[in-house]
Amino acid sequence: MEDNEKLKILILDDEKEFTEELSGFFKDSNILSYESNTVSEGRIILGNNIIDLFILDVRLPGASGLDILKEVKNKYPLMEVIIISAHGDMDTVIKAMRLGAFDYLRKPFRFIDIQIAIERTQKYIQLQRKLRQMEEKNSLISKNLEEKIDRHLIGVSPQILEVLEQAMTAASYPDASVLITGESGTGKENIARIIHHSSNRMENHFCTVNSSAITETLLESEFFGHKRGSFTGAIEDKMGFFEVCNKGTLFLDEIADMPFNLQAKILRAIEEKVITRVGDTKLIKTDFRIISATNHEIYERVENKKFRLDLLHRLNTLHIHIPPLRERPEDIEPLLIHFTDNFTTKFNKPPLEISKEVFSALRKYDFPGNVRELRNMSERAVMLGKGKVLGINDFMVKSLKHDLHVNENEDVIDLKTVEINAIRKSLRNSGYNQKAAADLLGITRNALIRKMQKYGIIVNKS
């Protein structure tokens, strides 16, 4: 209920005269009242409307008012109930208050009594709503604070410096959509945050929505918000991320997994910057920037008709690709030093050195989990390491060494490795378009797919 909306009251009393009279009393006020004279009538009205306040006579013929009270408090936890009791029936009043009734009135009562009771209830309802909104806002603020802490971009390779430059360009165009691609753990979310916090949207929210995490209905309500009662579980009005991120940045993680049906709605919202909450008709203007990320083969999803090309075009006005860590080995050393320093501080350990052989071993490692994997290695080494120097045994690199890795310094390389590297490179250079990659290699697309299957090349792992 918004402040300017009417308070909705349901009256249930077996005396028709009484319900009519009470309803008449509310007629010119800011109250919309519904009357019912039997329990089943009352249930139907409750089922079809969102009632804020229920005025219930507990002495109904053939029904236990207390049982009804229990039932409705259970089913509609946010609805308040005022009971009407007989003079002298203090026992029922006490039981009703224990079951969650907000107030009681004794018959016969003056209308001024009911007016006061309703005003009190109304204030309480509004306070409760404010409290819930504040709690929602607070949890968003603390989430944003947390996010600000992990926001460094470490690296010295030309590739990462180029990524940083592209991120700064993106920050200077705060309305342009940005698509970030890269394998898992390469730092896509990190870059998205850096763009947000370097742009003129930094004072406002950065929200993350992961498209693969929840069902389509819930995801739609996450994006657009909903009106109370629009589906089971929608117990009150809720803002969606499009609204929460007004003047801020909305980060769409794992964009390739976005349910197809939702894609058209998202596209419209991005194009028009106007949304409506689920179950509502009111138009709401909102100004957000979209940064999306994917480690999936998004072009393949487009080819398979699982992702709309028009949406992809909307999302990738600017495109930033973060190369995997194995293609920029010079970043390993500064990253490892950075993470290790952080973890020694966090775990209250004295400063630790890292032996040279660790760096040279890590440079030969394939890092399928990219920077996240390196970070986890560092955390483990700091936790378990003994002494002042972390050595090769603290990193378990030998046992992790990837089969497919080629070291440029090695003299002997086999044909399989050459093919794998060529396929990966052509995919990367063609923006992960299989047809274009096949053309680069001078083979057919089907031949490329057969080779990829043979070597277990997953397209998102460049």
Ligand X SMILES: Nc1ncnc2c1ncn2[C@@H]1O[C@H](COP(=O)(O)OP(=O)(O)OP(=O)(O)O)[C@@H](O)[C@H]1O
Other CB atoms within a 10 A radius of the CB of residue 87 amount to 9
- Restricted to residues 187-206, the positions that interact with Mg ion (CB under 5 A) are 189
- Residue 11 or 371: the one with the smaller Cβ distance to ligand X is 371
Pairing, β 274-275 against β 284-285: antiparallel
CA atoms of 83 and 57, how far apart (whole Å): 6
Q: In the bound complex, what is the minimum distance in angstroms from residue 189's beta carbon to Mg ion?
A: 4
Of 327, 321, 324, nearest in space to 298 by CA = 321
Q: Under the criterion CB under 6 A, does residue 148 sit at the interface with ligand X? A: no
Give one DSSP letter per residue of 327-391, joined into a string.
G-GGGHHHHHHHHHHHHHHHTT----EE-HHHHHHHHT---TTHHHHHHHHHHHHHHH--SSEE-
- Residue 210 or 246: the one with the smaller Cβ distance to ligand X is 210
- Residue 121 or 370: the one with the smaller Cβ distance to Mg ion is 370
By CB under 6 A, which span of 88-96, 268-276, 342-350, 370-378 interacts with ligand X?
Answer: 370-378
CA atoms of 270 and 166, how far apart (whole Å): 22
Q: Under the criterion CB under 6 A, does residue 324 sit at the interface with ligand X? A: no
Q: In the bound complex, what is the minimum distance in angstroms from residue 373's beta carbon to ligand X?
A: 9
Instruction: Report which residue's Cβ sits closest to Mg ion.
Output: 189
CA atoms of 456 and 144, how far apart (whole Å): 39
By CB under 6 A, which span of 106-114, 184-192, 233-241, 384-392 interacts with ligand X?
Answer: 184-192
CA atoms of 283 and 273, how far apart (whole Å): 10
Q: Under the criterion CB under 6 A, does residue 129 sit at the interface with ligand X? A: no
CA atoms of 358 and 345, how far apart (whole Å): 21
Judged by CB under 6 A, the residue of 42, 185, 248, 385 near ligand X is: 185
The binder of 375, among ligand X, Mg ion, none, by C-beta within 5 to 8 A per type, is: ligand X
- Residue 332 or 371: the one with the smaller Cβ distance to Mg ion is 371
Q: Under the criterion CB under 6 A, does residue 257 sit at the interface with ligand X? A: no
- Restricted to residues 160-179, the positions that interact with ligand X (CB under 6 A) are 160
CA atoms of 117 and 190, how far apart (whole Å): 53
CA-to-CA separations, 116 to 8, 110, 234, 383, in angstroms, rounded = 16, 10, 30, 63
No. of helices (H) and no. of strands (E), the chain:
19, 16
Do 195 and 212 touch, CB atoms closer than 8 A? no
Q: In the bound complex, what is the minimum distance in angstroms from residue 251's beta carbon to Mg ion?
A: 9
- Residue 122 or 166: the one with the smaller Cβ distance to ligand X is 166
Q: In the bound complex, what is the minimum distance in angstroms from residue 196's beta carbon to ligand X?
A: 13
Q: Token match 């990837």: residue?
A: 402
CA atoms of 228 and 278, how far apart (whole Å): 9
Q: In the bound complex, what is the minimum distance in angstroms from residue 323's beta carbon to ligand X?
A: 11
Number of residues that make up the chain? 462
Phi, psi of 278 (to 5 degrees): -60, 130
- Residue 229 or 329: the one with the smaller Cβ distance to ligand X is 329
Q: Which two tokens stand for residue 228?
A: 């109370």
By CB under 6 A, which span of 152-160, 198-206, 260-268, 341-349 interacts with ligand X?
Answer: 152-160
Q: Under the criterion CB under 5 A, does residue 147 sit at the interface with Mg ion? A: no
Judged by CB under 6 A, the residue of 184, 276, 344, 360 near ligand X is: 184
The binder of 372, among Mg ion, ligand X, none, by C-beta within 5 to 8 A per type, is: ligand X
For 342, residues 6+ apart whose C-beta sits below 8 A from its C-beta are none
Q: In the bound complex, what is the minimum distance in angstroms from residue 188's beta carbon to Mg ion?
A: 5
What would the x/- binding string for ligand X be over residues 327 to 366, using CB under 6 A?
--------x-------------------------------
Q: In the bound complex, what is the minimum distance in angstroms from residue 160's beta carbon to ligand X?
A: 6
**DSSP letter (8 states) at residue 278:** B
- Residue 26 or 251: the one with the smaller Cβ distance to ligand X is 251
In the complex, the residues that contact Mg ion under the rule CB under 5 A are 189
In the complex, the residues that contact ligand X under the rule CB under 6 A are 150, 152-155, 160, 182, 184-190, 295, 335, 371-372, 375
